[in-house]
Amino acid sequence: MNEPIPIVRIVDDDASFLTAVARMLRASGFEVKTFASAAEFLARPELDVPGCVLVDLQMPGLSGMDVQEALAKEGQRLPVIFLTGKGDIPTTVQAMRGGAEDFLTKRAPKEDLLNAVNRAIERDAHERTVHRKLDELRCHFAALTPREHDVLQHIMQGKLNKQIAFDLGIHERTVKLHRTSIKTKLNVHTTADLTKLWMEFLGLDK
């Protein structure tokens, strides 16, 4: 599958700094988009495009924190890196609690900034992959009939076909048929694979 190129969104009211940091990131090989205010960014965040947000903490009007909150409220997990002129401890703590990817001063070493951006983009890519996989699984599991769901639950409890047949009041051969149908629909061959997929679906694979 062909992934779109990740974009680093930079939000800063200081035009000079905005140009400079965009210039440096572009020269380092990143795709960059600049915004002069939080409002401008939130109006068109283009969340489908992967990447991350680099945002100035202290801005007139909406601040960097506001951007983070607005994204979180939308349920979007685009990584946010904060930039600050001061770097005071209380703000850092609050930002990290809010799930900030990183917190850098405006004059942080280039390597730190590039590392932070790379890390953020990687995390975003990973999250997007995980999400996509979960979506697929959800589709597969949604294809099962209610009776197949019941049978699956019992299989996952480690019961034998005989027990399942007794519990559900159906013939043991019918159980076998359901079992085959489930494996086909979920595209697995062994019960072990089925268990692994089930764990993944429940998010228990980590």
Partner 1 sequence: MVHLPSNVRPINCMRTYSMSRFLSIILFLLVIQPALAVAKPAPSAKEAKRVLIIYSLDQLHPAHILTEQAICKVLRENRNYQVQLYTEYLDMGRFHSTGQAKIMSDFLRRKYAELKIDVVITVYPDALDFLLKNQEHLFPGVPIVASEVTRSYAENLNRSPARRRVTATILGDNAEGVLEAALRARPDTQRVALVAGSSPVDAHSELFLRSALKKCARRLELIDLTKLSMSETLARVSKLPRNTVVLYGSIVMDGAGQSFVPRDALTLVSRTANAPTFGTYDSLLGYGIVGGRLISFERHGKVAAELALRVMSGVSPGDVPFAGDDAYVDIYDWREIKRWQIPESAIPAGSEIRFRQATFWELYRLFIIAAIVIAIVEASLIVTLVINLKRRKQAEKELVESQLRLDLAADSAGAGLWSMDVKTGRIWATDRTLLMFGYAPGDEIDVKKFYAIVHPEDRDRITRTVDTAVRDKKAISDQYRITLPDGSIRWIAVKGNIQVNPLGETVSLLGATMDITERKKMEQDLQEKRIELTHVARVSTMGQLASTLAHELNQPLGAILRNAEAAELFLQDPSPDLDELRAILADIRKDDQRAGVVIDRMRAMIRQRKAERCRLDLNLLVDEVVVLVKSDADKRHVRLAMDVAPSLPPVHGDGVQLQQVLVNLLLNAFDALDENLVDKRLVTVSMQTVGATVEVAVSDNGPGIAKDKFPHFFAPFFTTKSEGLGMGLAISRSIIEEHGGRLWADNNEAGGATFTFSLPVMIGAAA
- Residues of the shown chain interacting with partner 1 in the complex, contacts defined by CB under 8 A: 14, 16-17, 19-21, 23-24, 26-28, 58, 83, 85-86, 88, 105-107, 110
User: Would you say 19 or 145 has its CB closer to partner 1?
Assistant: 19
Token couple for 67: 């951007």
Give whichever of 33 and 106 is closer to partner 1, judged by the CB atom: 106
For the CB of residue 193, give the shortest distance to partner 1 in the complex, in Å: 48
Q: How far is the CB of 45 from partner 1 (least distance, A)?
A: 23
Q: Looking at beta carbons only, is 19 or 94 nearer to partner 1? A: 19
CB of 58 to partner 1, least distance (A): 7
Supply the minimum distance, in Å, between the C-beta of residue 23 and partner 1.
Answer: 4
- Give residues with Cβ within 8 angstroms of 33, minimum separation 6: 7, 8, 9, 10
Between 112 and 136, whose beta carbon lies closer to partner 1?
112
* 63 vs 154 by CB, closer to partner 1: 63
Q: How far is the CB of 17 from partner 1 (least distance, A)?
A: 4
